[in-house]
Amino acid sequence: MSSIVHFEIPAEDLQRAKKFYSSLFGWKIQSWQDMEDYMIIDTYGVGGGMMKRKNPDQHITDYIGVPSVDEYSLKVKELGGRILVPKTAVPGMGYFVVCMDTEKNAFGIWETNPAAK
């Protein structure tokens, strides 16, 4: 069975959002590698990220772990959903696809693959 493996929180002001979530929940939030606009969130459970908001309608996105984003992308389409962001590599970590369900909710699917380029 697939489960949520990652989430992302968009923010207008990353430092303000970092202060809010770390103060509210005690999460450890820090910059990821050399990226200015992305932070890693350690919830002491499911991990997440925080990024600069890319558009006004961007909401929190949950990523569900799957064995193959290619296979599950086809299933999404067959079941009436849409692909919003096609297969994208996160080098050395895996691949993701952002989808929309039949109720217009966005979600991601994630395939762990250390060989991703």
Strands 61-65, 106-112: parallel, antiparallel or unpaired by DSSP? parallel
Q: What is the mean pLDDT of the chain?
A: 95
Note whether 94 and 110 are within 8 A (CB): yes
- C-beta separation of 38 from 84 below 8 A: no
Q: Is the pLDDT of residue 1 over 90?
A: no
The pLDDT assigned to 106 comes to 94
Mean pLDDT of 90-101: 97
Whose tokens are 């932070």? That residue is 39
State the pLDDT at residue 109. Answer: 97
For the chain, give percent helix, strand, coil, nearest 5: 20, 45, 40
17-50 pLDDT, tens digit each = 999 999 999 999 999 988 889 999 999 899 999 9
pLDDT, tens digit (0-9, with 9 covering 90-100), for 45-70: 999 999 999 999 999 999 999 999 99
Domain map (residue ranges) of the chain: 9-53, 61-117
Q: Give me the CATH topology for the region 61-117.
A: 2,3-Dihydroxybiphenyl 1,2-Dioxygenase; domain 1 (3.10.180)
The H or E element that residue 16 is part of is helix 14-25
Same-fold call for 9-53 versus 61-117: yes
Q: How far apart are CA 96 and CA 65, in angstroms?
A: 9
Say if CB 97 and CB 73 are below 8 A apart. yes
CATH-assigned architecture of domain 9-53? Roll (3.10)
What radius of gyration, in Å, describes the C-alpha atoms of the chain?
A: 15
Report the pLDDT value the prediction gives residue 34, as an integer from 0 to 100. Answer: 85
What whole-number distance in Å separates Cα of residue 85 and Cα of residue 5?
18
Percentage of the chain beyond pLDDT 90 is 91
